[in-house]
Amino acid sequence: METIAQPTIFELLKKQFGYDSFLPNQEEIINNVLDQNDTIAIMPTGGGKSLCFQLPALALEGTTIVISPLIALMKDQVDALKANGIPAQFFNSSQPYGEQQQVLRELQSGNLKLIYVAPESLPQLNFILKIIKIGLFAVDEAHCISSWGHDFRPAYTQLKRLKEQFPNVPLIALTATADRATREDIALQLAIPNAKIFIASFDRPNLYLDVRPGQNRNKQIFDFLKNHRDESGIIYCLSRKGTEKLAATLTAKGYKAEAYHAGLTSEERTQIQENFTNDVSPIIVATIAFGMGIDKSNVRWVIHYNMPKNIDGYYQEIGRSGRDGMPAHTILFHSFGDIVMLRKFAEGADNEAYQLAKLERMQQYAEALSCRRKVLLGYFGEHISEDCGNCDICKAPPNYFDGTLIAQKVCSAVARLQEEEALGMVLDVLRGSQNAQVFDKGYQKIKTYGAAKDVPWRDLQHYVIQLLNQGVLEVYFHENGRLVLTPQAKRVLFEGKKVRLANFVQEIETVKIERAP
């Protein structure tokens, strides 16, 4: 055991990293690692994940192996460590042969405290790993191991063998995006069933959450910008052409804006990033290619011109604003046209059903009639009891009615269906549908069959979605989208907890179907 006395980790924090205190969860995570336990750390971007393995790397005997898919960022991270006098290296396919050999020699000498390696290059280290002392394995961006996740990387699947080969070396998996399903998958895939899971709060209370129908988006943007003249911001578009068109329109109106997308050369992209960081060109109109590794603290607003394909991406993107903790404004435009297009993108993918379920959740967020922050945090498994007061719904709440009875019926149906059925079937059962699938499964015999037959199908659907949004129910995306009760549902069913529901007011007919740019 290499437990280390409390003052020592504080000393390392101060001496090696120059910080006075830990960010939320860092200390607990580091202690868990130093106690030789496996760990899963879920922290929002900017939450300080790196320290959770860098500090233990110094406290533990041997070398810490950091597996990271972000080859482009490895050099910066290693340079930063070296600048603090910490012996570190990286190893990936972008290096010339000679440099790789040099790194291997350093690794073999046992003098490195950290080595960053791409998962694809890990097999090349295998031989040396067997003969040196390894302090810790750190799997960064661990959601890449889950085929349910949105960035699946096949090379991550071989990491399953780490625990077989090195059962006595502790392992820490870190990620900023993991719904409950992905989280469970990470533990399974990395073969760390007993890992302790730490989830830092994802709440960013300084971000104002604003969702609007996507009509006349350009006009809405210009109206917004009039009141945000000299601020820095990011507009996300779905297509490259869209970014260029909008950047040109903004420039014509006298704003300093540049387009950014994967079709530019890397020199162009570096230049644009620099212009943005230095406020030479404070507005960026970008595809999602933009943002990884951007550390600009004074981004005051983020606009989604098009709807993102899932909440994970959306939350990361809005999270690039307000890093300094000062108020920031986020606007999401949603339109039926975007949804149609995103559905097309998802169709035919290997994990089509999963992607479509995630998209549906995104759409439900956009159409939510309850506090947006509740919906967002609920998606990440964090359930807050109070409305946030800093979103469009809290600012202008709809008329609510007492939906407790409906909520009880829905929860009871979900319970009687053994939490095994997805939204469509739950609605069919509540509505007393004569559907063949209902009869095949014998659901016409359960007690809640037809319990809500007086509520129109569409209304009932919206009520169930509101229950999802309020954190009473949850969707298990990786298990056919089945609906599951949360602890809140139990309070609704057994403790008479009141539930507010709103009638769906948006008139679908008036939502113009727009072509995406």
Contact positions vs Zn ion (CB under 5 A) = 371, 373, 387-388, 391, 394
Q: In terms of CB distance, is 211 or 388 closer to Zn ion?
A: 388
Picked from ligand ADP, Zn ion, none, the partner binding residue 289 (CB below 5 to 8 A depending on kind) is: none
Picked from Zn ion, ligand ADP, none, the partner binding residue 464 (CB below 5 to 8 A depending on kind) is: none
Picked from ligand ADP, Zn ion, none, the partner binding residue 46 (CB below 5 to 8 A depending on kind) is: ligand ADP
Query: Where does this chain touch ligand ADP (CB under 6 A) — which range of 18-26, 146-154, 276-284, 412-420?
Result: 18-26
CB of 342 to Zn ion, least distance (A): 25
Residue 446 dihedral angles phi and psi, to the nearest 5°: -80, 160
List the Cα angle 212/217/219 in 5-degree steps.
Answer: 115
- The label of the residue with tokens 């590794």 reads 293
Sign for the CA dihedral angle at 397, 401, 402, 407 comes to negative
In one letter, which amino acid is 322?
G
Picked from Zn ion, ligand ADP, none, the partner binding residue 47 (CB below 5 to 8 A depending on kind) is: ligand ADP
Pairing label, strands 328-334, 299-304: parallel
Q: In terms of CB distance, is 39 or 364 closer to ligand ADP?
A: 39
Q: In terms of CB distance, is 232 or 412 closer to ligand ADP?
A: 232
Q: In terms of CB distance, is 47 or 149 closer to ligand ADP?
A: 47
Binders of ligand ADP among 45-84, rule CB under 6 A? 45-51
> How many Å apart are CA 272 and CA 280, to the nearest integer?
9
* Burial letters 477-509, b for 16+ CB under 10 A, else e: bbeebbbebbebbeebbeeeeebbbbebeeeee
Q: Let me know how many helices (H) and strands (E) the chain has, helices first.
A: 21, 17
CB 469 within 8 A of CB 370: yes
CB of 391 to Zn ion, least distance (A): 3
In one letter, which amino acid is 286?
A
Picked from ligand ADP, Zn ion, none, the partner binding residue 48 (CB below 5 to 8 A depending on kind) is: ligand ADP
Picked from ligand ADP, Zn ion, none, the partner binding residue 45 (CB below 5 to 8 A depending on kind) is: ligand ADP
Q: In terms of CB distance, is 115 or 393 closer to Zn ion?
A: 393
Q: In terms of CB distance, is 201 or 435 closer to Zn ion?
A: 201
CB 208 within 8 A of CB 301: no
CB of 24 to ligand ADP, least distance (A): 9
Picked from Zn ion, ligand ADP, none, the partner binding residue 49 (CB below 5 to 8 A depending on kind) is: ligand ADP
- The label of the residue with tokens 């699946």 reads 152
CB of 77 to ligand ADP, least distance (A): 8
Of 431, 474, 426, nearest to 452 by C-alpha is 431
Picked from Zn ion, ligand ADP, none, the partner binding residue 23 (CB below 5 to 8 A depending on kind) is: ligand ADP
The region that residue 475 occupies, defined by phi over 0 for left and psi between -120 and 50 for alpha, beta otherwise, is: beta
Q: In terms of CB distance, is 42 or 247 closer to ligand ADP?
A: 42
Query: Where does this chain touch ligand ADP (CB under 6 A) — which range of 44-52, 297-305, 357-365, 395-403?
Result: 44-52
Q: In terms of CB distance, is 357 or 391 closer to Zn ion?
A: 391
Sign for the CA dihedral angle at 262, 323, 32, 131 comes to positive
Query: Under the criterion CB under 6 A, does residue 29 sit at the interface with ligand ADP?
Result: no
Sheet with 39-42, side-by-side order of all strands: 88-91, 114-117, 63-67, 134-139, 171-175, 39-42, 196-199
Of 215, 305, 292, 209, nearest to 257 by C-alpha is 305
Picked from ligand ADP, Zn ion, none, the partner binding residue 388 (CB below 5 to 8 A depending on kind) is: Zn ion
Query: Where does this chain touch ligand ADP (CB under 6 A) — which range of 17-25, 65-73, 127-135, 279-287?
Result: 17-25
Binding track, positions 86-125, relative to ligand ADP; x by CB under 6 A: ----------------------------------------
Q: In terms of CB distance, is 46 or 397 closer to ligand ADP?
A: 46
> How many Å apart are CA 455 and CA 78, to the nearest integer?
60
Picked from Zn ion, ligand ADP, none, the partner binding residue 371 (CB below 5 to 8 A depending on kind) is: Zn ion
CB of 212 to ligand ADP, least distance (A): 29
> How many Å apart are CA 16 and CA 59, to the nearest integer?
11
Picked from ligand ADP, Zn ion, none, the partner binding residue 69 (CB below 5 to 8 A depending on kind) is: none
Picked from ligand ADP, Zn ion, none, the partner binding residue 51 (CB below 5 to 8 A depending on kind) is: ligand ADP
CB of 142 to ligand ADP, least distance (A): 12
Q: In terms of CB distance, is 148 or 208 closer to Zn ion?
A: 208
Q: In terms of CB distance, is 62 or 327 closer to Zn ion?
A: 327
Residue 204 dihedral angles phi and psi, to the nearest 5°: -125, 80
Burial environment of residue 440 by CB neighbours within 10 A (0 to 12, 13 to 18, 19 or more): exposed
Q: In terms of CB distance, is 54 or 355 closer to ligand ADP?
A: 54
Of 144, 145, 142, 153, nearest to 197 by C-alpha is 142
Of 214, 419, 390, nearest to 306 by C-alpha is 214
Question: Contact positions toward ligand ADP, by CB under 6 A?
Answer: 19, 22-23, 26, 43, 45-51
